Amino acid sequence: MAGTERRVVVTGIGVISALGTEIDTFWKNILEGHCGIDRITLFDVSKYDCQIAAEVKNFDAAPAFPSPKDLRRTDRFTQFGVYAGWRALQDSGLDLEKVDRDQIGCFIGSGIGGLSTTEAQHSVLLEKGPSRVSPFMIPMLILNMASGMFSMYYKLRGPNVATCSACATSTHALGEAWRTIKMGDANVIFAGGTEAAIVPLSMSGFAAMRALSTRNNEPKRASRPFDSQRDGFVMGEGAGVLALEELEHAKARGARIYCEIVGYGNTADANHITAPSPEGEGAARCMKMALRSAGLRPDEISYINAHGTSTPQGDVCETQAIKSVFGDHAKKLAVSSTKGATGHMLGAAGAIEMAVCTKALQTQIAPPTINYENPDPQCDLDCVPNQARPMAITAVLNNSFGFGGHNATIAAKRFNG
């Protein structure tokens, strides 16, 4: 197969989160143990069971958009995605005037899409009638628009896909982009995900499922992955986009290389609409697939960025999955979840966490699991509790698992030429 020997590296990172809208600030805040969760300000939450989230505040997407009119005609999730893509493009140093744009693609997904637009236009329909619904409603709400708009604004004519697999969305986007570049169908793909689901309907629905933390009086201590006192996840919003690039293409233009993507796993639990498969069986198969495609042994992995949502069942099942895959080596792994700091960004989570993995490989520092105060005997891994840890990191896994039984894992390693 002609494309199988092509190697794929990360040359640019764009992040939008409650902890920052550029990678250096974001990474500094992660390492220092800061938390972006607070009381929701986007709407009145006084009647809601969960009143906290990790909001992106004072956000201005204008630099990434061609005009104010274009900006007004997009949903918040698209604004996040386009801005993160623009940041990744800037960070990559790629000069679009000097490359074949037929070979530059976009794989930017979303788990939910334009829910705020859906809410607003439904209110218009009920209050003013069907003739007053915006002609831009559908283009604003459909979840492929972040990927579509970014490609339009920057004239990127290569493969363009918007993945949607709940909380595994952007990890699937990265994996499928990796596969596409390896097969020779693109030289560069801007891949990741975006989400803006801190809206009344979403907060009501997740609360009705009893999925959200109700630790409203302690927002910065509410998301506590692997801690025995965890009571649910905390919603986050934002986007993560990484520039994935074929190695020789990157070398030819003198690009800075953060790390190399070397493997990808993609499995289904085929078990339950929201609950993971017993003992994390599907997640374990996913990690094994990523290791196999990367040609890595379990004992070559130094660090795992866990899905680690801070839900009672999910964290236990992921722990069981890691132990089943890694055996005795599981005790030597650093395994942290950064959702205590960023909240759970749903479809954007995997890409934000891949940015974390990329920086961990570059800087040789494992980020902490904050709010880890009460050890859970069922989650008996080294969770890098509360403080970042300088350590040798040669290869990593990034896990994402979504409702519907979707599992995705990316394997990456330090770039050595």
Catalytic residue among 172, 249, 344, 406: 344
Alpha-carbon gap, residue 322 to 21, rounded angstroms: 32
Closest CA to 52 of 15, 18, 16: 18
| Cα 416 off chain centre by | 25
Contact 51, 40 (CB under 8 A): yes
Which tokens belong to 219? 């927002």
For residue 98, the SS3 value is helix
Q: What is the DSSP string of 334-402?
A: EEE-THHHH-B-GGGHHHHHHHHHHHHHHHTEEPPBTT--SB-TTS-SB--BSS-EE----EEEEEEEE
Catalytic status, residue 344? yes
For residue 157, the SS3 value is coil
Apex 315 CA angle, 312 and 317, nearest 5: 105
Contact 172, 354 (CB under 8 A): no
CA–CA distance from 160 to each of 26, 85, 108, 157 (Å)? 27, 13, 8, 8
β-pairing verdict for 8-16 and 38-39: unpaired
Catalytic residue among 167, 259, 286, 379: 167
Alpha-carbon gap, residue 313 to 317, rounded angstroms: 6
DSSP tag of 143: T
| Cα 95 off chain centre by | 26
Catalytic residue among 286, 307, 317, 383: 307
Beta bridge partners of 188: 104, 245
Active-site residues, by number, are 167, 307, 344
